[in-house]
Amino acid sequence: ETGVTQSPTHLIKTRGQQVTLRCSSQSGHNTVSWYQQALGQGPQFIFQYYREEENGRGNFPPRFSGLQFPNYSSELNVNALELDDSALYLCAGTSGLQETQYFGPGTRLLVL
C-alpha cells in the first residue's frame, strides 16, 4: 500500500478531446510527479509539482498541464488528445524533495 490512489482506472477518449486524470496522495506528500508509460516502455517524466508550483518538466508539449492542490491531490490535464497519448499514466507522491517516491496504480488511457 503506497498511499497514492488514481482515478479513473481506465478511460477511453477520441482524438482531439481533452482529459483530466486525478491523483490523491497521503497526507505529507507535498511533492507529486506524473509519468507516461507507453506499452512496452519505461515511464517517462512529464512534470513535478512541489507545494503547488511546477518544479521541473520533461520533454512534453504544453498541452500537458497539471495542478496540485493543498489537500495533496493533483490533476494531469491533456488537451487536443493524439493517438500517441494512449498510455498508462502514473503519479507518484513523496514527502520531500529527496525522499522516496511512491507510485499509484495508474490510469490507462486509450485514445481512438
- Look up cell 503547488; give the residue: 52
With CB under 8 A as the contact rule, the residue among 12, 17, 105, 112 that binds other proteins is 105
In three-state form (DSSP H/G/I as H, E/B as E, the rest C), the secondary structure along the chain is CCCEEEECCEEEECCCCCEEEEEEECCCCCEEEEEEECCCCCCEEEEEEECCEEEEECCCCCCEEEEECCCCEEEEEECCCCHHHCEEEEEEEECCCCCCCEECCCEEEEEC
Q: Kindly state the smallest distance separating residue 41's Cβ from other proteins, in Å.
A: 6
Binding mask 15-34 for other proteins (x = CB under 8 A): ----------------x-x-
Which CB sits closer to other proteins, 35 or 64?
Answer: 35
2 binds other proteins (CB under 8 A): yes
Q: Considering the rule CB under 8 A, would residue 45 count as an interface residue with other proteins?
A: yes
Cα dihedral 18→54→57→20 (10° resolution): -20
> Binding of other proteins at residue 56 (CB under 8 A)?
yes
Distance of closest approach, residue 59 Cβ to other proteins, in angstroms: 10
- Contact footprint for other proteins (CB under 8 A): 2, 4, 31, 33, 35, 40-45, 48, 50, 55-56, 58, 90, 92, 94, 97-106
